[in-house]
Amino acid sequence: MASRHALFKTTAANSTSANASVAEAGFFLPLSFGVGLVLLLSSLSVQTAALHGTHLHAAELRQRQADDALASAAQQVAAQFNGPYRCLLSTASAAWPTTGCGPGAGLATLTNAQLGGSRYRLLSWQPATGELRLALEGGGSASRQQGLFALRLDPARPTQVQGVRSLGR
Amino acid sequence: MNLTEITMAMLVFALAANASVQLWGASASWSRATEQRQDTLRRIDADLLRREYALRQAALAWQAEAPGCEVAAQRLRQQLEADGAPLPAGVSRQVSTEAAAGANAFWLVYRAEPLGLERRRLFSASAHGLCPPPEAESVPLTDSEVGA
């Protein structure tokens, strides 16, 4: 009886030792795979965030450049209102004659013009509020850019613009 | 556990760690560059806004003085070229004449060559009411002309 018990113990001990050996044998490789995968995934995640930041910055720069182009266009339109298109200043753009300020003059250079590499379009002019709305034309996202500006008119002489201020988009 | 398994595990770990370090390095470098570009953009923006505000204030005084278009344009250019807060290293500021607008309008251009960044904005003496037109020409549209 005692010998049978000892044999059982020996067999059980051998079996446990074999299982542990099998477990240890397959431990390091999956662990290194797991740790490596975590490292790679975390660094890829950080890289994606960095790339996203770069794209955001590029979009911000494009937005500022579009704002610059619109502000420049507003300066040009205001200068034209003080120059060859003075007669249109007191009239809303919806009521402008196609001949502009005189026969043969037209509105093309006021309402659709090129300035410094970008093309803009005058969408509306409201003399009552002094609000001028412009849009940039061209490819990409710039085609959707619009800007609203307030032209300050001379109270003593409302046919003259005295300044331009951006009111946003 | 045997030598082959340990070697394989170490190899896999070393390769993953190396790739990870390189990706982290590249990400850190991009982040630094983006941060630098954003800082440059912010400082250019601040300089531009300061100049625009100063110009608007000066134009009010010039309008009262009515120095004439040519003198006003010269003053406008001087105002745009005036020294202000220092720009970040590598950023240049230039004022150039807009050919199509005669000598009354100027481009204020900011360039940061190493960062591939450029901003330009037009300022016109005429848009600030500094080039008054001859009175005879300032005739608004008549009712019959409106909507013609």
DSSP string spanning B85-119? SPPPTTEEEEEEE-GGGTTSEEEEEEEEGGGTEEE
Residue A167's pLDDT is 93
ipTM above 0.95, yes or no: no
First-to-final CA distance of chain B: 95
- Whether B10 has its CB under 8 Å from any CB of chain A: the answer is yes
Residue A57 lies in a domain: yes
Q: Which of A50-64, A140-154, B79-93 has the lowest mean pLDDT?
A: A140-154
Into how many domains does chain A fold? 1
pLDDT score of A4 more than 80? no
Percentage of chain B with pLDDT > 70? 87
Phi, psi dihedral angles at B68 (to 5 degrees): 100, 155
Asked if the structure places residue B16 within a domain, the reply is: no
Residue B59 in any domain: the answer is yes
Interchain proximity A36–B140, CB inside 8 Å: no
Residue B20 located in a structural domain = no
In a domain, A125, yes or no: yes
B135 has a pLDDT exceeding 80: no
Check CB contact of A31 with chain B, cutoff 8 Å.
Answer: yes
Residue B135 near residue B58, CB atoms below 8 Å: no
Residue A128 three-state SS: coil
Question: Model pTM?
Answer: 0.80
Q: Is the CB of residue A17 less than 8 Å from the CB of residue A24?
A: no
Q: Which domain holds residue A36?
A: 28-168
CA distance B38 to B28: 15
Task: Supply the range of the domain harboring residue B38.
Answer: 32-132
The tens digit of pLDDT for each residue in A86-128 reads 889 989 999 988 887 877 778 888 999 989 889 999 999 999 9
Q: Which residue of B has its CA nearest to A65?
A: B119
Task: Report pLDDT for A101.
Answer: 81
In a domain, B145, yes or no: no
Span between the terminal Cα atoms of chain A, in Å: 96
Contact state of A64 with B138 under an 8 Å Cβ cutoff: no
Q: Which pLDDT belongs to residue A123?
A: 95
- Does the residue A10 lie in any domain? no
Q: What is residue B26's predicted lDDT score, i.e. its pLDDT?
A: 93
Measured at the CA of A144, the angle between CA A143 and CA A150, to 5 degrees, comes to 110
- A63 touching chain B per CB within 8 A: no
| Domains held by chain B: number | 1
- A62 is a domain residue: yes
Residue A50 lies in a domain: yes
**A60 within some domain:** yes
CA distances to A32, A110, A157 from A86, rounded to whole Å, are 77, 11, 12
What span, in angstroms and rounded, lies between the C-alpha atoms of A74 and A18? 85
Give the per-residue pLDDT at B137.
47
| C-alpha to C-alpha distance for B13 and A93, rounded to whole angstroms | 70
β-partners of residue A122 are A134
What distance lies between CA A124 and its chain's CA centroid? Answer: 25
In a domain, A19, yes or no: no
- The answer to whether residue B127 is domain-embedded is yes
Residue B114 belongs to some domain of the structure: yes
Cβ pair A43:B24 closer than 8 A: yes
Residue B46 touches chain A, beta carbons under 8 Å = no
Residues A127/B140, Cβ–Cβ less than 8 Å: no
Residue B41 lies in a domain: yes
Specify if A46 maps to a domain: yes
Assign A105 to helix, strand or coil. coil
What would the mean pLDDT of B123-136 be, rounded to a whole number? Answer: 80
Supply the pLDDT for residue B138. Answer: 46
Most confident of A46-60, A129-143, B93-107: A46-60
